[in-house]
Amino acid sequence: MDRKVKLLCILFFLANSLFLYNNALLCQQQSDSLLFQWAEFIEDESNLAEILEELAENPVNINTNNRDELLRIPLISSSQADSILNYKMQIGAYTSKRQIRSVIGSELYSLIKDFISIKSISKKSLSYIHKSYYGIEPVEQIKNNTYKGNAFYDYNKIRYVWSDDVRFGLVTQKDIGEVNYLDYASGYAEYNSKRVKGIAGSYYMHFGDGLLFSNAYGQQKSSLATLPFRTGSDGGYATLSSSENTGLFGIFLQFKQIYGSDIYLFYSKADRDAQFSQNKAYTIGIDYDGYHRSHSEIEKKNVIDESLIGIAFAYPFYNTIHFGVSYSQVNYNPAFKVSAISVGENTYRRQRYKFSGNQINQYSLFYSLNLNSIQLKGEFAGSQEGSPSVTHALFINGDKINFGIKYWYISKNFRSPFGRVFDNSTPFPQAEEGFYFGLTLNPFDRLSINGFKIIKKDLWRTYFDKMPKLNDESFIELNYQPENVSILARVRIRDNEYFVNPENENSVLRNIRTQNIYRLQLDYKPVKQLLFRTRCEYTNIRSAAEKGSYIFEDIHYFLHSYISLRSRILFYHSDSYNSRLYEYESDLPGSYANYAVYGEGRIFYIILKCDLFTNTSIWLKYRYNYIIKKDLTPTIIRYNDNELQRSIRLQLKFQF
């Protein structure tokens, strides 16, 4: 980046900080604040944004819904759900959402307020959402006919609400380069009463601590360090996620309060994309990316027939101890064949414990213990051929301090297609042991401190990694809000261990790659309709002497109650892809945008949201990325010098 540009950015940043004390009003929470706590730490795209959007579109009625539905809200614990219901019984009914602040606290209320409601659905309603993406620059693979489709992304979602108890949904999606506008289609019909819940179609499940079935947000680290201890409730939930090859499609039934217990029955049957061996003679696994653009990608589509059937049982003892068990069977046709013959000798040495076969019988026992401000939670899970795995968590919730510790041990031959491990969203998690420590402090009314420590270890050596690797991460963030200012400072340190052989092959040298990431951010609101955010972020890698940085300015302008505008200008520079930084940015509702920036360049985007009529809204986003210098790493050439990337995104929503 040019020195003059850097100097101007620094001067602008300092000028903003001085301006704060004279003109700013306290910054309000953004509507995507809950997603923002997770999104910055998720480097790969996730269906988390879609699930949170579904909750915002279909909020939980805190007056009419039961405990099971309250637990669908992220961050709401079992004891908090009970407190919400008990307080409602005392006052008769909530007349304002804000009343539950006295039950769950102002901070938690600010994060979940978009997901709750006090109004019953008095009439039928229909909503329709359409999204389109288009890249202005030609896609090379489309020009040379490698991709068979056009350059448009197309997404459609229909939701029909019959009553508080009955809902229907349908979603379709076509990725850029795909031919069929119905390349992915899914939907559901849901009935949910006080005694029975039934879903026919698309759904996801979560039981225990997520070893066998996990929701999208229960295993993610966050800038709110104790957030991972406040997520995850047992049950199945209808979804219109467009994340292909991961969800369940079939029948889910929940019978509530049968002699005090909940009984869950579930069945799923779905077609999955296949991973083939190099000669395409064997199926060796599932391809989860969901793209069907080229001939080879189309060839693998829906090759695998996956079926799941299972049962779960959960019983509470005096609202203090919660105990549950589950058993399920997963079948694949054709069977997976992972061997030295199918994948090659060298690859097999690294994937020796990868699932091979056509059937998995899996079981789990899960529990939670709630004693006032102390919660203990855990799960024990295994399968017929794999070794068992365990996870335990302790969470202490106080007025000024929240603290939690989580431990997980995943055996090297653990079999779990739908489970997830903390800080690892990869299906079929294996061979990992780790600890997570999270701490949140509120020593003063205007100061919050969040910190966490992650220690992870691979449990077995491979041909490529001579010894089990140890990885850890440290994080601390201070958020100070004086009378009319919001200031954030953050330090994040990531250590990755690796081993190399010197000339003497009988010995191994241990090396650690340490990356430090520093952030300083200022938020302020000079007038009610205008919000500014200024951020500087810098990273360095000690062992490689590489560094990267960016600085941006966000502007949110609320012109009127029916029109608003968001924009960002960002300058970035990094020595290589290894020293990349991620700039999570605002996007269309339900979409996820966390871009890696590296090389040298500048980014600008603008989002316009307009409510055209009482039942019609439109969002329009234009994004501009000018890459001045490509990545300098010789083996990873991502961009060309002076490359321009521009895109347009459109979303329409009709509510009837």
Q: Dump the DSSP string for 131-195.
A: EEEEESSPPHHHHTTSS-S-SEEEEEEEEEE-SSSEEEEEEEEE-TT-S-TTSEEEEEEEEE-SS
For residue 29, name the pLDDT band (cuts at 50, 70, 90). Answer: very low
Strands, E, within 41-87: which ranges? 60-61
| 143 Cβ neighbours under 8 A, 6+ residues apart | none
Nearest in space to 330 (alpha carbons), one of 235, 231, 220, 248: 248
Does residue 31 surpass a pLDDT of 70?
Answer: no
d(CA 217, CA 350): 29
User: pLDDT: is 387 or 251 the higher one?
Assistant: 251
Residue with tokens 């505008």, as numbered in its chain: 565
Choice among 64-68, 94-98, 491-495 with the minimum mean pLDDT:
64-68
Using CA atoms, how far apart are residues 233 and 256, in angstroms rounded to an integer? 14
- pLDDT score, position 602: 93
Residue 51 has pLDDT above 80, yes or no: no
Q: Which pLDDT band, with edges at 50, 70 and 90, does 46 fall under?
A: low
pLDDT band with cut points at 50, 70 and 90 for residue 464: low
Per the model's pLDDT, the better-predicted residue between 110 and 278 turns out to be 278
Contact 205, 248 (CB under 8 A): yes
Q: What distance, in Å, lies between the first and last C-alpha atoms of the chain? A: 50
**60-61 vs 116-117, strand pairing mode:** parallel
CA distance 519 to 537: 4
Question: Quick check: 573 and 614 in contact, CB under 8 A?
Answer: no
pLDDT, the chain, mean: 83
**Residue 544, amino acid:** A
Q: Report the C-alpha gap between 114 and 20 in whole angstroms.
A: 28
Pairing relation of β-strands 196-206 and 509-527?
unpaired
Strand partners, 502: none
- Reported as a single tens digit per residue, the pLDDT across 585-619 is 888 887 778 888 888 899 999 999 998 888 899 99
Give the integer Cα–Cα distance in Å for 287 and 307: 16
Residue 56 structure tokens: 């915002």
- From the list 459, 460, 455, the residue with the least C-alpha distance to 471 is 455
Q: How confident is the model at residue 168, as a pLDDT?
A: 95
- Predicted pLDDT of residue 467: 58
Distance between CA atoms of residues 101 and 310, nearest Å: 39
Q: Residue 398 and residue 339: Cα distance in Å, rounded? A: 52
And the tokens for 480?
A: 């100070």
Q: Which two tokens stand for residue 275?
A: 């991973």
Asked if 473 contacts 495 with a C-beta cutoff of 8 angstroms, the reply is: yes
What percentage of the chain exceeds 90 in pLDDT?
Answer: 37
Q: Residues of the chain with pLDDT > 70: what percent?
A: 86
**Nearest-angstrom CA–CA distance, 420 and 595:** 23
Query: 11 pLDDT band (50/70/90 cuts)?
Result: very low
Q: Is 266 helix (H, G, I), strand (E, B) or coil?
A: strand
| CATH number for the domain formed by residue range(s) 179-428 | 2.40.160
d(CA 454, CA 437): 7
In this predicted structure, the answer to whether residue 551 has a pLDDT above a threshold of 80 is yes
* Selected residue with higher pLDDT from 259 and 650: 650
Q: Could you tell me if 278 and 284 are in contact, meaning their C-beta atoms sit under 8 angstroms apart?
A: no
Strands in 318-356 per DSSP E: 321-336
Omega before 316 cis (within 30°)? no
Concatenated DSSP letters for 68-128? Answer: HHHTTSTT--HHHHHHHHHHHHHHSS-SSGGGGHHHH-HHHHHHHGGGEE-----S-EEEE
Among candidates 67, 165, 55, 179, which has minimal Cα distance to 117? Answer: 55
DSSP one-letter code for 299: H
The DSSP bridge partners found for residue 635 are none
Find out whether 204 and 236 touch, Cβ atoms under 8 Å.
yes
Q: How far, in Å, CA of 542 to CA of 65, rounded? A: 53
* pTM of the model as a whole: 0.86
Looking at residue 518, its amino acid is: Y
Q: Assess whether pLDDT exceeds 50 at residue 37.
A: yes
318-349 residue pLDDT tens: 778 889 999 999 999 999 998 888 888 877 87
Strands (DSSP E) found in 501-580: 509-527, 530-541, 546-560, 563-574
Q: Which residue's structure tokens are 């990755």?
A: 496
Q: How many CB atoms lie within 10 A of CB 238?
A: 23
**248 has pLDDT over 90:** yes
Better-predicted residue by pLDDT, 139 or 501: 139
Query: What pLDDT score was predicted for residue 27?
Result: 32
- Which of 160, 177, 332, 148 shows the shortest CA–CA distance to 240? 160
Higher pLDDT, residue 100 or 618: 618
By three-state DSSP, how is residue 339 classified?
coil
Compute the 3-state secondary structure of the chain and give helix, strand, coil in percent, each to the nearest 5.
15, 50, 35
- φ, ψ dihedrals at 475, nearest 5°: -150, 135
Is pLDDT at 121 greater than 70 in this prediction? no
User: Radius of gyration (Cα) for the chain, nearest Å?
Assistant: 25
Q: Which amino acid is at 212?
A: L
Contact 161, 125 (CB under 8 A): yes
